Structure 1
Amino acid sequence: MAGLLQALVGASEKAGTIARLCRAEEPLFQLLVAEKSGTDKNRRFLQDFKTLADVLIQEVIKHDLGKEFPELQGHIHGEESNEFKNRQDSTNEYIGGREDVAPIDGITPAGLCSALVLIGAYDRQTGCPVLGIINEPFYCRDPLTHRWQGRYHWGVAYGDTQLSSLSPPPPRPTPCVVLSRAEGGPVRAALGPLCGDRLCFAAGAGYKMLCVILGLADAYVLSEGSTFAWDACAPHAILRALGGGAVALAGALQARRVGDTGPPPELVYNRPAEGAVGAKRWANQGGLVAYVHPQHLEAVLAALATVPGL
């Protein structure tokens, strides 16, 4: 496990370098964008894109880890196909590259800082995430060179072992919940009183989970199945290392409604959705709640149990 962790950290650092290099020259970068189509497309977006950086990063990770750990060959998966056809258009945070977005209470609502490299490992038998790396390629700019600098975080949750580069953040008496701006009104209305009407908003599922990991928010709630295994596995492992987790929202609410007082079901990563095709096979159907402190999870679930249709 230690050797794999070291290899994943190295892969994430190489990936961060690729992300910064590909983003350095704007005219060239705009030639390195392709639109997804068919079953690879996220149904949440009218247009869904990938960049050559996405593809390069994914293939480099596959190559490096497969070479160092031959037993993992064939078991290293990612979001993108390695087919790349250029289209000149752009919408997401990495492509848009906004650098002037000011953080609100430490959370950046959008922009380049929310573009992350996520590398997670899960137990193939149980589907439970056991190791995660989050690399922030665009964490800050060097004041002298004006070049972007990155940082990374890691966590291991395997058996009785819980180790992380971070310490668990202290809980707030009134929890802060981070949402997508696309989240529906009923969910916002249910969570508003719990948070003292202080809801935070940010882009990127991985980034919102990172906000929970860093203690910038106490929970991340998503009521739709618009995130995927590759979004959640790495931060989920780090959350588990800190004593928290990421539960399947629909399953957790269903369990509460039938009186099940046991631990709510967590996301797993070894079971594709039955009947789905393409990327939808690996969607986190029914939404999720990411948390560090169990009391915040329980408070969020109690609030959401009143929302019709969830």
Structure 2
Amino acid sequence: MAGLLQALVGASEKAAHIARLCRREEPLFQLLVAEKTGADRNRRFLQDFKTLADVLIQEVIKHDLGKEFPELQGHIHGEESNEFRNGQGETVTVRVCATPGDTAALLLSVLEPERAAAELLAAAVHRDVTLEDAELAGVALSVPPQDLAIWIDPIDSTNEYIAGREDVAPVDGIAPAGLCSALVLIGAYDRRTGCPVLGVINEPFFRRDPPDPQGPRPRRWQGRYHWGVAYGETRLSSLSPPPPCPAPCLVLSRAEGAAVLEALGPLCGHRLRFAAGAGYKMLCVILGLADAYVLSQGSTFAWDACAPHAILRALGGGAVALAGALRARREGDTGDPPELVYNCPVEGAAGAERWANRGGLVAYTHPQHLEAVLAALATVPGL
């Protein structure tokens, strides 16, 4: 399992490099957008885009992990279809080929006539990643990879990635929107129980190089990653649990309803913060910038939550199914609220909705904050 954890981190680093590369080539980036339609469309947005970066990153992660761990082949799932429509209206199946030249030729069928860009992307796809992380190298665990499956969100918060806003000022450390909320999420879960056990979050756009006093030059983005393990009694993470706050800060979606805002406001002294991207909001909880992420709608999916949920579990917290937790509370059940699981599609649903977290969620690090949120929301009609 230690080898698998290192492979997940390495895959996330390659993915982050590709995400930065695609944004750096602005003329290329304008060619990389295709509107999602049909069952793959997220109903929350008027326009929901997938980019070639999304598709390519997902296929690179599938390829690299499947090659190193054959037991995982067929059990690596992602948000995106690997079919991409090019400018001529032809459907191209994006995949990693045997050689950089073959991969470049395939990408050129999407990017024509941008041959140099296709070759640049192909080189990034086939590059070897070296991790210089002594802490990660020292992790020793044992669980058979054949017991696990993977959820990938190649670029969470795709709309913010496309918009590329770099000047959004954070509020108490939480960015309301912008490029920093675009993340690479890779989570592993137990095939039998659906419980998340490994998580990696990569921030490709964590910070930008400062201006060069010697003169103008490209200011490149620098990234960082976080990981967590929650398997059996083992709890390990690259992060330390954040300290609890008496009056919790809560992070929410701007689409949250008025009744929920009214119920939660007094709980946190109206320290309500808003941000884009489910993965980013969960990361805010992981980093201690917020004490809980509350979402009353079923607008997140397994690929959004699996990786951060594993890290939250490693830190002593979790992510509960909000509707189920409130229902159990009203029925007098005093046991642990139901956590999200990642192996059960929604019965009767189609397309992406099969993997929606129906009924919302609460992500937290300290149980007292979860309890306070559930108590505040228990009287909201319709939840």
Q: TM-score, normalising length from structure 2?
A: 0.79
1:205-258 deviation per Cα after TM superposition (whole angstroms, max 9, x unaligned) = 000000000000000000010000000000000000000000000000000000
1:162-214 deviation per Cα after TM superposition (whole angstroms, max 9, x unaligned) = 00000000011100000000111000000000010110000000000000000
**Match for 2:368 among 288, 295, 307?**
295
What is the match of residue 184 of structure 2? 117
**Match for 2:166 among 80, 85, 99?**
99
Q: Could you tell me which amino acid in structure 2 is paired with residue 150 of structure 1?
A: G
Distance in 1 of aligned mates of 2:85 and 2:165: 24
Distance in 1 of aligned mates of 2:251 and 2:25: 32
Alignment of 1:238-249 (within 5 A): 238-249=311-322
Distance in 2 of aligned mates of 1:197 and 1:231: 27
Distance in 2 of aligned mates of 1:267 and 1:142: 38
Check whether the contact 1:33–1:86 (CA below 8 A) recurs between aligned residues. Answer: no
1:86 Cα deviation from its structure 2 partner: 4.9
What is the match of residue 274 of structure 1? 347
1:267 Cα deviation from its structure 2 partner: 0.1
What is the match of residue 258 of structure 1? 331
What is the match of residue 6 of structure 2? 6
1:25 Cα deviation from its structure 2 partner: 2.1
Distance 1:189 1:86, change over 3 A: farther
1:119-167 deviation per Cα after TM superposition (whole angstroms, max 9, x unaligned) = 0000000000000000000000112451000000000000010000000
CA RMSD of aligned residues (A): 0.9
What is the match of residue 233 of structure 1? 306
Distance in 1 of aligned mates of 2:43 and 2:221: 32
Distance in 2 of aligned mates of 1:30 and 1:129: 36
Partner SS for 2:239: coil
Distance in 2 of aligned mates of 1:188 and 1:157: 32
Check whether the contact 1:248–1:289 (CA below 8 A) recurs between aligned residues. Answer: yes
Give the number of the structure whose alpha-carbon radius of gyration is greater. Answer: 2
Alignment of 1:155-234 (within 5 A): 155-234=228-307
Distance in 2 of aligned mates of 1:217 and 1:83: 37
Deviation >3 Å, runs of 4+ = none
1:27 Cα deviation from its structure 2 partner: 2.3
Partner SS for 1:279: helix
- Give the number of aligned pairs: 307
Q: Could you tell me which amino acid in structure 2 is paired with residue 156 of structure 1?
A: V
Distance in 1 of aligned mates of 2:255 and 2:26: 28
What is the match of residue 20 of structure 1? 20
What is the match of residue 133 of structure 1? 200
Check whether the contact 1:35–1:86 (CA below 8 A) recurs between aligned residues. Answer: no
1:44-80 deviation per Cα after TM superposition (whole angstroms, max 9, x unaligned) = 1111111110001000000000000001000000000
Is the counterpart of residue 37 in structure 1 residue 37 in structure 2? yes
Structure 1, unaligned stretches of length 5 or more?
none
Distance in 2 of aligned mates of 1:105 and 1:275: 42
Distance in 1 of aligned mates of 2:86 and 2:43: 21
Distance in 2 of aligned mates of 1:220 and 1:236: 12
Distance in 2 of aligned mates of 1:94 and 1:239: 24
Is the counterpart of residue 75 in structure 1 residue 142 in structure 2? no
Is the counterpart of residue 47 in structure 1 residue 47 in structure 2? yes
Partner SS for 1:84: strand
Q: Could you tell me which amino acid in structure 2 is paired with residue 158 of structure 1?
A: Y
Partner SS for 2:226: strand
Distance in 1 of aligned mates of 2:361 and 2:219: 37
